[in-house]
Structure 1
Amino acid sequence: MAYFNNQKEPVKNVETNVWSCVSDDCSGWMRENYSFEKEPACPICQSEMEKEVRIVPEMK
């Protein structure tokens, strides 16, 4: 499909399982399939993380 004025094709958003940091001071999160650990620690603050679902851009 052709887009004019150098506009990119819109990115599709999908519901994705993610790990989200439980700390109120941190907004860290990562896609579930990007972790090798069963229950990862936050890569930013090392706090615990919990599973949740977010709507994020689709990765191809």
Structure 2
Amino acid sequence: MFFGKRNPLEKEEEQLVSTEIYSCSDDGCIGWMRKNFVSADLLCPMCGSSMDSGVRDLPKI
């Protein structure tokens, strides 16, 4: 019997979409989240600082 390596199947490229996000305003914190998942008080879940709106190219969900 012969067990050769198969060529890996080509993965489909992830589609990046411009997505509205909120990122932490504190310079020492790297927290951010999509607009769909942000809490009503607009506070960073990691440090508690306020969050600023912005846009990032993220994979489509």
TM-score (norm 2): 0.78
Any unmatched runs of 5+ in structure 1? none
Task: Please report how far the alpha carbon of residue 31 of structure 1 lies from its aligned counterpart in structure 2 after TM superposition.
Answer: 0.2
Asked which structure has the greater CA Rg, the reply is 2
Of 8, 14, 19, the match for 2:11: 8
Instruction: Provide the aligned C-alpha RMSD in A.
Output: 1.5
Question: Match for 2:15: what amino acid?
Answer: K
Aligned to 1:44: 46
Aligned to 1:22: 25
Any unmatched runs of 5+ in structure 2? 1-6
Q: How many residues align?
A: 55
> Structure 1 segments of 4 or more deviating over 3 A?
none
Identity of aligned residues (%): 38
Between the aligned partners of 2:26 and 2:10, the Cα distance in structure 1 is 38
Between the aligned partners of 2:39 and 2:29, the Cα distance in structure 1 is 21
